Amino acid sequence: MLPAMAGPPVISVINYKGGVGKTTLTANIGAELAHRGRRVLLIDLDPQASLTFSFYRARDWERELADERTILQWFGTVLEDGTPEPLQKYVATPPQVNAVIAKSGPGRLDLIASHLGLIDVDLDFAAGLGGSRFQHGSPHYLPLHRSLASALADPYFDTYDVVLVDCAPNFTMVTRTAIVASRHLLVPARPDYLSTLGIDYLRRKLSELITEFNKVAGASGHGIPPINPTVLGVVFTMIQYAGSGPILAARRYLDEPGTIEVPRFLNTIRENKSLFGTAGADSLPAVLVPGANERAQYELQQLTSEFYAKIRV
């Protein structure tokens, strides 16, 4: 049994397949928890920056965050010689969503924004590791892999109830820093062949990283704690319904995680293009949009309850 990680639970949201609702889940779970009075930190590690633009309009991001207050600039300090900048300097508080949250209680939703330039950071990590992406013998292997975990260990982040990390659909170094920092992984998937195909592959890549990292950490002699992030569960999204249940084409995939012994959430999210397609236009995720589809919002609320129950066990 590994020791419990200090600080708030960190959950990375990831699937190798894009277009599965990864950002939608991150934004809505985070916003709903904050609406219930929790303090939530979202970290956008996807170069597409969809999570960031769910809370900031592009022109506001450009004016307020792009040049100095995104995860791109922070990783730049990580890759420089010396001590990285404190991560809390890059925390922003999106005004529109927090104005809505403040009406219901003391919750708050903060964000560390992404940047389209993040796509090039993996090349800089490779250079820092001596030309190999994940070179085990590099003296920089552990500091770079632990960079996000070390930053989140600052007492500043103890005030948060949960940290959600929106990962890119890959397993590059930026994603690996998130996995090393995480207690759990949340895996969104559509009920179709391509979306479910990568779940077992993701689990195997996770196992390989855990084994590799713990071996290097154990051999370092520096007392670095081992890691053991687990798959919290698969959340099925964008489900099409016919009558009272999912369409037949979707049903065959809903039990797929169980065949490879990966847990799945009981609550699912139905497809609703009118709600999810326009959510974010006013810097509000779907669950907080006034006058929106009540059934879809109820499903998001129920999913959030199940999620929070799982991470509190």
Residue-wise pLDDT for 166-203, tens only, equals: 999 888 899 999 999 999 999 998 877 777 777 888 89
Residue 5 lies in a domain: no
Element (H, E) at 187: strand 184-189
Please give the pLDDT value at position 1. Answer: 36
224 falls within a domain: yes
pTM for the predicted model, two decimal places = 0.92
Q: What Cα–Cα distance (Å) separates residue 196 from each residue in 17, 92, 258, 264?
A: 9, 34, 11, 12
In a domain, 45, yes or no: yes
List residues bridging with 165 in a β-sheet. Answer: 12, 43
Residue 244 has pLDDT above 80, yes or no: no
Average pLDDT for 144-152:
96
Per-residue confidence (pLDDT) for residue 246, from 0 to 100: 58
**pLDDT value at position 296?**
86
Edge-first strand order for the sheet with 230-236 is: 108-112, 39-44, 162-166, 10-13, 184-189, 230-236
In a domain, 4, yes or no: no
Q: What is the domain range of residue 282? A: 10-311
103: enclosing H helix or E strand: none
Output the CA torsion sign for 24, 29, 30, 32.
Answer: positive
Amino acid at 144: L
**Total domains present in the chain:** 1
Tell me the per-residue pLDDT of 41-74, one tens digit each, with 9 for 90 and over. 999 999 999 999 999 999 999 999 999 999 999 9
Report if residue 169 sits inside a domain: yes
CA-based nearest residue to 95, from 112, 114, 108: 108
CATH, residue 197 = 3.40.50.300
Q: Is residue 154 part of a domain?
A: yes
